[in-house]
Amino acid sequence: MVMETKTLLFSTLPRLSYVLILVLFSLVAAAASGSLSFNFYAASCPTVEFIVVNTVRSASSSDPTIPGKLLRLVFHDCFVEGCDASVLLQGNGTEQSDPANKSLGGFAVINSAKRLLEIFCPETVSCADILALAARDAVAITGGPMIQIPTGRRDGRESLVANVRPNIVDTSFTMDDMIKIFSSKGLSLEDLVTLSGAHTIGAAHCSAFSDRFQEDSHGKLKLIDSFLDTSYARELMSMCPAGASPSITVNNDPETSSAFDNQYYRNLLAHKGLFQSDSVLLEDERTREQVKDFANDEGRFFESWRQSFLKLTSIGVKTGEDGEIRRFCSEING
């Protein structure tokens, strides 16, 4: 018996060490070549994904607005200086000072995952990875596809308000404006249609769409954007009357606001896209067919989402020796 165990041990040991060497080699290679890798934290923090998903899950169960916030947060991070957690930095003149970022949320969820990770794996997991994983989990938790994403992002040391305007899409943008920004990030027209599907969850403030209609002096609806369905516009007007509190929010998807599904595209077909930048996806013939396709086939939307989300969360990543691993997500290391 002892003999057998010994033989077994000796015959498996070389194989084990091969595997170990391979894993180590691929980790070093990934770090040196500046790319992300799957299982980046396999040796240094094997529980990272478990800790992040549990944090997101428990935060979302007590506050259902969390998934939408995390998903928008990663978009605003990745489009400005790449996916480097620059959007999480607090202070005067950081990206958070831009009006487009004033309505971001979900920071506390990232910070609390980071606090836990600093206990289990000190100074190991970047805030940029935590944010990408948390947004990935937000989609799965609300019924969207579960996606394996590579990690190894490092945290940026810079966050400047001036970098936000030129890189973040506004609701008033034309299709050409949007294409320009997306393609500067390596994203295609198809990625634009797919990633806009994020608006199947979450909410928006009245100011993001209230210029699409007006209330006349008799309290009647006057459509400014004739592409908007009249009864939907009337609904929106009643939720966002003139002089309404700026803190009021309206669901992006009037049908299934807490489910990550293809309802967004069905809404577009019914002229119920909340933002002008949503409606334009149906109006423009370059994207109309894809909208119809996703409205009819959720599987195709999910498959496309997998690919586009991987591209989104890989934009301009800092890896290897670039950047740092922050100790607190809201501040750079001293």
- Active site (annotated) includes residue 199: no
Residue 252 interacting partner from Ca ion, ligand HEM, none (CB closer than 5 to 8 Å by kind): ligand HEM
Give the shortest CB-197-to-ligand HEM separation in angstroms: 8
CA atoms within 13 A on the CB side of 224: 11
- Interaction with ligand HEM in 72-91: which residues (CB under 6 A)? 72, 75
User: Which listed range, 119-127, 146-154, 195-203, 322-330, lies at the site for ligand HEM (CB under 6 A)?
Assistant: 195-203
Question: Which range in 64-72, 152-160, 232-240, 287-295 contacts ligand HEM by CB under 6 A?
Answer: 64-72
Q: Which of 76, 199, 218, 271 is catalytic?
A: 76
In this structure, which amino acid lies at residue 161?
A: V
155, 185, 166, 156: which is closest to 100 by C-alpha? 166
Binding at 84: pick from Ca ion, ligand HEM, none (beta carbon under 5-8 Å per type): Ca ion
Dist CA 32 CA 26 (whole Å) = 10
- Which residues fall within 8 angstroms of residue 142, CB to CB, at 6 or more apart? 67, 201, 258, 259, 260
Residue 299: closest CA among 256, 261, 244, 253 = 261
Binding-site partner at residue 256 among Ca ion, ligand HEM, none, CB < 5 to 8 Å by type? Ca ion
**Is residue 329 within the footprint of ligand HEM (CB under 6 A)?**
no
- Contact between 159 and Ca ion by CB under 5 A: the answer reads no
CB atoms within 10 A of CB 56: 27
Q: In the chain, how long is the greatest CA-to-CA distance?
A: 95
Pairing mode, strands 221-223 and 249-251: unpaired
The residues annotated as belonging to the active site are: 76
Contacts with ligand HEM, residue ranges (CB under 6 A): 65, 68-69, 71-72, 75, 103, 105, 169-171, 178, 195-196, 198-199, 201-205, 208, 252, 275, 277
